[in-house]
Chains A and B, each alone.
Chain A
Amino acid sequence: MAKDASSSTQRLETAAALPPAIKLVGINKSFGPVRANRDIHLSVQRGTVHGIVGENGAGKSTLMSILYGFYTADSGTIHVSGKPVSITDSRHALALGIGMVHQHFMLVDNFTVIENVVLGAEDSALLGPTLSKARDQLKQLAKDYGLEVDPDALIEDLSVGQQQRVEILKALYRGADILILDEPTGVLTPAEADHLFRILKTLRDEGKTIILITHKLREIMAITDEVSVMRQGTMVKTLETAQTSPGELAELMVGRRVLLEVEKGPASPGDVLLKVKDLVVTDDFGIARVKNVSFQVRAGEIVGIAGVAGNGQSELLEAISGMRDQTLGSVEVNGQAISAFGDDGAARLRDAGLAHVPEDRLREGLVTTLLEWENSILGYHNSYGSGLGLDIAKAKSEAAERIEKFDIRPANTALKTANFSGGNQQKIVLAREMERNPDVLIVGQPTRGVDIGAIEFIHKQIIAMRDAGKAILLVSVELDEIRSLSDRILVLFDGEIVGEADPATADEGALGLLMAGVHEGGASGESETEARLPEHVTPIEKTLTEMSPRVDKDESQ
């Protein structure tokens, strides 16, 4: 680490002699009444990795969009390699050597890698010469930077990590010298993220400049040379990474001290409140997304489901909460089997004492065109008022109480929900689901798109629910979140539970392998049934020091 830090300092010193790769002076940008960027000054040294951190809405994406030519700044100047430029569109940005890897990939799924790479950069009407030139160049890039991808593979057959490599290749093929990556690790497994970081380091060592936008402080600490912190549209500070700490960065981002670690005592699990048995869920196309999943959650414990996005977590949550028909299997809440068939299954589950904070609050958990108080009774509206009428006065007064208790801002029950920030919208959902005093709480992606300050609050609330003796099932693609909140971790891969871990002792590498679907071979002493039903062993008795991957029949042969 020390060696790394000193080399980083060296790099910065060498780079300081050259004109900075990017220099922004006094950038301002407003959208109507909203000032997204205010008098931004930023200098990115050539041949370094420069991190940009900030909460949602701090103005990071706007700033990068200005740099990439999506938006034009209201005022201020951009210098690339010491020369003032005015970037009018992304083609222009590329000509200046600025490439961008978007959070959501811009690839044509049924084209091959090489076709995607040359797309928009064809030299002539005939594809042949371009493709053969591209093939040579891709080979060279693969050799230089460790960016190996089969040029003839279809994009849809590639893993997410590989697709991201194609995005990077696209930028490099177009001659990008400065690479902007927007939240690149959000969709990656830990192993894929490591691979990405190795690639980025190689690129830097070869003289490329990298701007990394992220909200994960760990990544900033691991890979960047310098880091700039944005808050509410302003550039708060640029620091040398080696001279700072995650705590300091978080404080700069939020503007106050933040507790990064989750404080929680040991769990004291009680009765089984949620029991899922042999659950099979198929998606809209009839493909099984959840395959024979069984587990149970006890009162007073948090069971986390880890996994890379798209491995059946969404379908599992939807089936348990009644948003999707279960194909086979059963769900018991409070010892009572609940049929989730029909499109009002969610109501029956709520009546049985199950509350659900859905993964995608905008699509599922809120009606953003309705008012705050209306959203605060969504799903429970039938308990407001007797007869046909809706007891609006009661709904509003309870909504106001929850606003106060959960510190939802602005404190206005008559405001359209769309006008709340992501963190406050999530608080509206959490308040609604938690204040009903449910026995079982299902939480999907509790802090997705939520500011650091709100994350801390939400985590505390979840722990408080657990301590109040509720059974909590947590699904998150943020492995850190799963590890810090859960009392027990189940790893879901390709719709199956492939392993269970104790968060206190499980190491990230092993978890990552499980999430990537790599079964560490060798039969453990457990029988098939026990492995499928890990609830036979309580987490306290199960002092696991390592993963116990489930052994599939065919693999144990």
Chain B
Amino acid sequence: MSARVPLPRWVDVALLPVLNVMLAFLIGGIVVMLVGQNPLDAVGIMIYGAFGYGSGFGYTLYYTTDFIFAGLAVSLAYQAGLFNIGPEGQAYVAGLGVILVALALNGLPWLVTVPAMIVAGGLFGAAWAFIPGYLQAKRGSHIVITTILFNFIAVSMMGYIISKHLKPDGVNSDESAPIDAISRVPQLNVFWDLFKHSPVNISFILALLALVGVYWLVWRTKFGFAMRVLGQNPTAARYAGISNSRMIMITMALAGAMAGMVAVNNVGGVQGRLILNFVSGAGFVGVAVAFMGKGHPFGVALSALLFGALYQGGQELAFSMPGITREMIVTIQALVILFTGAMGDMLRPPLERVFFKPPDNSSAEGG
């Protein structure tokens, strides 16, 4: 018999994460103090950098877009009980699909190329995630191991393809030919002047749609129901006639497609070409985003925004505050991951004491 009392829901989903983030900033503030800077100033600069002006806010939303897609790729698989650690590789391989289609349709208006890039990126990402799914479903290879390994395979394979096949003659850096401006994913500043020169593009709208779509899929469809049953209790799933192996393969493919949208944002939009290691860690941040967001699209949206702000505000900070290096920004980001993810339940016992309700004398059960 457990003597644990569940926390009120708002404490669990709101207060606890907020306290965790504040704790991370507190430790981060001590680090800033140790290098002789004022932590309050640092926080001010970060917040201003992330939200204070149009272009900065645009950058925040650009990073947020990546993190939403990567976070959903992890969350979706997590709902089915699968730890997808591979969005990094899935997004990278999806870049190949995006660039192949974009170059083939190069010169056509974005209304034609963008849907094609979405489909191609989705398919390539799905294929790359399907293989670990298949290996888990049919061969019992653990998905955590295989998706991690597939990240490495993706790096080597893409490096080879980019440098040996996609790199046009006469170009020194490892990157593909560029997509014409007319065919790229349009930036939001085209429609809305607020975002100035920031790279945020309509992939952000796509990310918001994906959040709603994942919510609908998981909680409003038969497939999502089967997914959740599998994730919570695989034996009961088998009992219910839900094919574990089929669900694993389909779910992983969907997760990979989600990760593939990171490529649409970057290859199709921001860079307009496929460059080496363009994902640059967004896939791994997705794992932290998903955990902090507890696998729920709403949580993913909030934690992706937090990480987006950390990235953009952090760069602003490194730029404008002497003594704060890029490495220290990474340290603060790591602290956030540490306190919200790995140590996310550290404050739970004290909160349980605070919110403990005295025994109700009218009911007695247990034994």
B233 A34 Cβ-Cβ under 8 A: no
**Quick one: which of A33, A233, A321, A379 contacts B357, CB cutoff 8 A?**
A33
B366 within 8 A of A: yes
Give chain B residues whose Cβ lies under 8 Å from the Cβ of A57.
Answer: 365-367
**Quick one: which of B225, B232, B236, B243 contacts A344, CB cutoff 8 A?**
B243
Give chain A residues whose Cβ lies under 8 Å from the Cβ of B1.
Answer: 31, 34, 36, 62
- Return the chain A residue nearest B229 by Cβ: A367
Give chain A residues whose Cβ lies under 8 Å from the Cβ of B221.
Answer: 388-390
A324-350, CB < 8 A from B: 342-350
Give chain B residues whose Cβ lies under 8 Å from the Cβ of A356.
Answer: 239
A62 B238 Cβ-Cβ under 8 A: no
**Quick one: which of B224, B233, B236 contacts A390, CB cutoff 8 A?**
B224
- Return the chain B residue nearest A31 by Cβ: B3
Distance between B249 CB and nearest chain A CB, rounded to angstroms: 12
Mark B209-253 against chain A: 1 for CB-CB distance below 8 A, else 0. 000000000001111111011001101101111111110000000
Q: How far is the CA of A379 from the CA of B239 in the complex (A)?
A: 7
Mark A421-440 against chain B: 1 for CB-CB distance below 8 A, else 0. 10000000000000000000
Q: How far is the CA of A233 from the CA of B1 in the complex (A)?
A: 14
- Return the chain A residue nearest B236 by Cβ: A367
> Given A363-B235, A378-B229, A30 and B359 touching (CB < 8 A)?
yes
B239 A323 Cβ-Cβ under 8 A: yes
A35 B359 Cβ-Cβ under 8 A: yes
B172 within 8 A of A: no
A31 B2 Cβ-Cβ under 8 A: yes
A5 within 8 A of B: no
> Given A367-B236, A390-B220, A381 and B225 touching (CB < 8 A)?
yes
B164 within 8 A of A: no
A364 B3 Cβ-Cβ under 8 A: no
A–B complex contacts, Cβ < 8 Å, 26 sampled:
A31-B2, A32-B5, A32-B357, A34-B365, A35-B364, A36-B1, A36-B364, A36-B365, A38-B364, A56-B367, A57-B365, A62-B367, A234-B364, A321-B239, A322-B238, A342-B243, A343-B245, A346-B238, A364-B239, A367-B229, A367-B232, A379-B239, A381-B226, A384-B222, A388-B221, A389-B222
Q: How far is the CA of A370 from the CA of B5 in the complex (A)?
A: 19
- Return the chain B residue nearest A234 by Cβ: B364
A358 within 8 A of B: yes
Give chain B residues whose Cβ lies under 8 Å from the Cβ of A350.
Answer: 241
B363 within 8 A of A: yes
A366 within 8 A of B: yes
Mark B111-127 against chain A: 1 for CB-CB distance below 8 A, else 0. 00000000000000000
A289 within 8 A of B: no
A312 within 8 A of B: no
- 4 smallest CB-CB distances across A and B, nearest first, come from A347-B241, A346-B241, A233-B364, A344-B243
A58 B225 Cβ-Cβ under 8 A: no
Give chain B residues whose Cβ lies under 8 Å from the Cβ of A232.
Answer: 364-365
Give chain A residues whose Cβ lies under 8 Å from the Cβ of B365.
Answer: 34, 36, 57, 232-233, 421
B173 within 8 A of A: no
Give chain A residues whose Cβ lies under 8 Å from the Cβ of B241.
Answer: 322, 344-350, 379
Give chain B residues whose Cβ lies under 8 Å from the Cβ of A347.
Answer: 240-243
B360 within 8 A of A: yes
A365 within 8 A of B: yes
Q: How far is the CA of A34 from the CA of B367 in the complex (A)?
A: 9
Report which B residues bind A (CB closer than 8 A): 1-5, 220-226, 228-229, 232-233, 235-236, 238-246, 356-361, 363-367
- Return the chain B residue nearest A350 by Cβ: B241
> Given A345-B241, A390-B225, A364 and B236 touching (CB < 8 A)?
yes
Q: How far is the CA of A30 from the CA of B359 in the complex (A)?
A: 8
Q: How far is the CA of A234 from the CA of B2 in the complex (A)?
A: 20
Q: How far is the CA of A347 from the CA of B242 in the complex (A)?
A: 7
**Further contacts, 15 of them, CB under 8 A, given A36-B1, A322-B241, A390-B220:** A31-B2, A32-B356, A36-B367, A232-B364, A234-B364, A344-B241, A363-B233, A365-B239, A366-B233, A367-B236, A379-B239, A379-B240, A381-B225, A389-B220, A390-B225
Mark A290-331 against chain B: 1 for CB-CB distance below 8 A, else 0. 000000000000000000000000000000011100000000
> Given A32-B4, A381-B226, A388-B221, A369 and B243 touching (CB < 8 A)?
no
Give chain A residues whose Cβ lies under 8 Å from the Cβ of B357.
Answer: 32-33
A34 B226 Cβ-Cβ under 8 A: no
A207 within 8 A of B: no
Q: How far is the CA of A234 from the CA of B225 in the complex (A)?
A: 42
Q: How far is the CA of A227 from the CA of B74 in the complex (A)?
A: 57
Q: How far is the CA of A43 from the CA of B2 in the complex (A)?
A: 28
Distance between A111 CB and nearest chain B CB, rounded to angstroms: 30
**Quick one: which of B233, B243, B366 contacts A367, CB cutoff 8 A?**
B233
**Quick one: which of B223, B358, B366 contacts A36, CB cutoff 8 A?**
B366
**Quick one: which of B222, B356, B363 contacts A382, CB cutoff 8 A?**
B222
B223 A388 Cβ-Cβ under 8 A: yes
Give chain B residues whose Cβ lies under 8 Å from the Cβ of A348.
Answer: 241
- Return the chain B residue nearest A321 by Cβ: B239
**Quick one: which of B3, B5, B240 contacts A378, CB cutoff 8 A?**
B240
Give chain A residues whose Cβ lies under 8 Å from the Cβ of B4.
Answer: 32
Max chain A CB contacts within 10 Å: which of B228, B242, B246? Answer: B242
> Given A31-B1, A32-B356, A390-B222, A61 and B367 touching (CB < 8 A)?
yes
Give chain A residues whose Cβ lies under 8 Å from the Cβ of B225.
Answer: 374, 377, 381, 390
Distance between A384 CB and nearest chain B CB, rounded to angstroms: 7
A513 within 8 A of B: no
A381 B222 Cβ-Cβ under 8 A: yes
A60 within 8 A of B: yes
Q: How far is the CA of A244 from the CA of B120 in the complex (A)?
A: 78
Q: How far is the CA of A60 from the CA of B367 in the complex (A)?
A: 6
**Quick one: which of A62, A344, A370, A421 contacts B242, CB cutoff 8 A?**
A344
Q: How far is the CA of A322 from the CA of B240 in the complex (A)?
A: 9
A59 within 8 A of B: yes
Distance between B205 CB and nearest chain A CB, rounded to angstroms: 23
